[in-house]
């Protein structure tokens, strides 16, 4: 008998999403319970208290581990809670090397919370692997990379960075939120853990917050399980269920996001009011070749330069199909202004250092009819 080795969509729909053993329900039940009846002291069915474990959560953790190619995963109350959970494994004196262009909330956590516990962070352009190698020191525990970056859409070579990390015995953690496991598989490229804001493409419907850490070693899983129990920032059963429902359509949503993303990027690249477009799918993106090697699609995230804050504001006031708001990865097109929204916490100096301007607009292209998205952007850009 050949070994049954299901592909991505089959795993998204079936792993952890098996029919309920008791009733046959095809959808995973939401186990809305805070505790579980025990048969006698120390004898129970594997579930004691819902902060420690919950069957809906167990199902989601199994599913996401499978999609990212890890051995296990742990879900948390938000993407930030997931990143924070990884960092609780560090001790005073430990050091982390990170990409210099991350989602703004990540350096906010690192610089304004975790440095207070004596953990040190060095930010480098991880687009050049030599910068990573140079920044690693004796007490470095982790290299933390986002690729493509938010909002500059710059790439880092995960295979090359993972090689350096392996040599130096440092863990590589990749925030894979922008690509989702459908288009990019950091663990297959050598990462030790992958992290996501499930709030984005994994959920896909802008109706819940969440985060996940996917592990490659059982001890990571054990440690993160302990953090769930000890610190308690777990994902509720209802929010787990929303992600379980969302991932069933991840593949077809990502295909449509990608199709629409390519067309919107091509439209923007030709528009005379747009000064620059940041999208790895465009042949003139400086790392287009790496994108072709490392990702199986280019996705929905595009940043473009309107020239000034006034221009950005003018067009953002006019959009109708695109919704002005933070976040990304939902079925609806979301458009945002990084300098005042996602990257406000970096401050003007911090943004300038890495090249985020006041005229930049970021778009998370949804799965609406692409002609409508393009027509909307066209009429909004006409006001500049």
* Whether 201 contacts 253, CB under 8 Å: yes
Quick one: which of 53, 197, 256, 294 contacts ligand PLP (CB under 6 A)?
Answer: 197
In this complex, which beta carbon is closest to ligand PLP, that of residue 210 or of residue 237? 210
Query: How wide is the angle at C-alpha 216 spanned by C-alphas 95 and 96, nearest 5°?
Result: 10
The catalytic residue among 175, 258, 358, 376 is 175
Q: List 146's β-bridge partners, or say none.
A: 175
Q: How far is the CB of 289 from ligand PLP (least distance, A)?
A: 23
* Residue 201 lies near ligand PLP (rule: CB under 6 A): no
Residue ranges of alpha helices (H) inside the chain are: 8-14, 55-68, 79-87, 105-112, 129-135, 158-168, 180-183, 218-231, 237-247, 250-270, 288-294, 309-318, 347-354, 370-381
Show the 3-state SS of 264-288.
Answer: HHHHHHHCCCCCEEECCCCCCCCCH
The count of chain residues that interact with ligand PLP, using the rule CB under 6 A, is: 14
Using CB under 6 A as the criterion, what x/- string covers residues 299-318 for binding ligand PLP? Answer: --------------------
Based on the shown chain and the rule CB under 6 A, indicate whether residue 78 belongs to the binding site for ligand PLP.
yes
Smallest gap from Cβ 148 to ligand PLP, in A, equals: 9
DSSP letter at 236 equals P
199 sits near ligand PLP (criterion: CB under 6 A)? yes
Of the residues 16, 55, 70, 79, which one makes contact with ligand PLP according to CB under 6 A: 79
Within 102-141, the residues that bind ligand PLP by CB under 6 A are 103, 105
**Would you call 359 exposed, middle or buried from its count of C-beta atoms within 10 A (0-12, 13-18, 19+)?**
buried
Nearer to ligand PLP, 76 or 267 (CB): 76
Residues 143-182 that bind ligand PLP (CB under 6 A): 146, 150, 175, 177-178
Catalytic residue among 51, 168, 245, 248: 51
Q: Which of 31, 103, 123, 279 is catalytic?
A: 103
Nearer to ligand PLP, 211 or 297 (CB): 211
Least Å distance, CB 267 to ligand PLP, is: 24
Question: What is residue 197's three-state secondary structure?
Answer: strand
Is residue 51 annotated as part of the catalytic site, yes or no?
yes
Run of H or E residues at 330: none
Which of 200, 262, 351, 362 does the annotation list as catalytic?
200
317 is catalytic: no
Q: How far is the CB of 341 from ligand PLP (least distance, A)?
A: 10
Scanning 73-81, 90-98, 238-246, 355-363 for contacts with ligand PLP by CB under 6 A, the matching segment is 73-81
Q: How far is the CB of 106 from ligand PLP (least distance, A)?
A: 6
DSSP 100-166: SS--THHHHHHHHTGGGGT-EEEEE-TTSHHHHHHH--TTEEEEEEESS-TTT-----HHHHHHHHH
- Beta carbon of residue 304, minimum distance to ligand PLP (angstroms, whole number): 18
Among 60, 109, 143, 209, binds ligand PLP (CB under 6 A): 209
Report which DSSP code applies to 63: H
Residue 182 falls in the annotated catalytic set: no
In the complex, residue closest to ligand PLP by CB = 79
Which of 80, 191, 202, 361 binds ligand PLP (CB under 6 A)? It is 80
Query: Measured from the CB atom, is 146 or 171 closer to ligand PLP?
Result: 146
Nearest approach, Cβ of 371 to ligand PLP (angstroms)?
28
Instruction: Write down the least CB distance from residue 365 to ligand PLP, Å.
Output: 15
Q: Please answer whether residues 126 and 152 qualify as being in contact, where contact means their C-beta atoms are separated by less than 8 angstroms.
A: no
Contact 90, 96 (CB under 8 A): yes
Dihedral Cα 70, 76, 80, 84, nearest 10 deg: -80
Say if residues 161 and 131 touch (Cβ distance below 8 Å): no
First and final CA of the chain: distance in angstroms? 64
Which positions are catalytic?
A: 51, 103, 175, 200
The site for ligand PLP (CB under 6 A) is made up of 78-80, 103, 105, 146, 150, 175, 177-178, 197, 199, 209, 211
């Amino acid at each position: 008998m050949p070994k049954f080795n299901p592909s991505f969509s089959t795993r998204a729909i079936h792993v952890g999403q098996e029919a309920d053993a008791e009733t046959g329900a095809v959808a995973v039940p939401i186990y809305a319970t805070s505790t579980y009846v025990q048969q006698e002291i120390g004898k129970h069915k594997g579930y004691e208290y819902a902060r420690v474990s919950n069957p809906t959560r167990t199902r989601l953790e199994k599913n996401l581990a499978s999609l990212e190619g890890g051995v296990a995963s742990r879900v948390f109350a938000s993407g930030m809670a997931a990143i924070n959970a990884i960092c609780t494994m560090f001790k005073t004196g430990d050091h982390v090397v990170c990409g210099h262009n991350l989602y703004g909330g990540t350096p906010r956590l690192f610089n304004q919370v975790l440095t207070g516990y004596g953990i040190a962070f060095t930010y480098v352009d991880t687009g050049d692997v030599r910068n990573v190698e140079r920044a690693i020191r004796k007490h470095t525990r982790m290299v933390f990379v986002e690729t493509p970056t938010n909002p500059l859409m710059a790439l880092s070579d995960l295979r090359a960075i993972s090689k350096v990390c392996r040599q130096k015995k440092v863990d590589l953690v990749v925030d894979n939120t922008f690509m989702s496991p459908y288009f990019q598989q950091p663990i297959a490229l050598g990462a030790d853990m992958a992290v996501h804001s499930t709030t984005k493409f994994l959920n896909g419907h802008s109706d819940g917050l969440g985060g996940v850490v996917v592990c490659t070693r059982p001890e990571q899983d054990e440690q993160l399980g302990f953090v769930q129990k000890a610190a308690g920032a777990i994902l509720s059963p209802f929010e787990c269920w929303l992600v379980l429902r969302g991932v069933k359509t991840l593949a077809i949503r990502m295909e449509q996001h990608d199709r629409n993303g390519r067309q919107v990027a091509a439209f923007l690249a030709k528009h005379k009011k747009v000064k620059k477009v940041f999208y790895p799918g465009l042949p003139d993106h400086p790392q287009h070749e790496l994108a072709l090697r490392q990702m199986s699609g280019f996705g929905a995230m595009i940043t473009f330069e309107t020239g000034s804050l006034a221009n950005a504001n003018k067009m953002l006031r006019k959009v109708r199909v695109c919704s002005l708001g933070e976040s990304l990865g939902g079925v609806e097109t979301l458009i945002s202004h990084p300098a005042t929204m996602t990257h406000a916490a970096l401050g003007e100096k911090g943004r300038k250092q890495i090249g985020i301007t006041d005229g930049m607009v970021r778009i998370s292209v949804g799965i609406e009819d692409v002609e409508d998205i393009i027509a909307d952007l066209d009429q909004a850009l006409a006001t500049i």
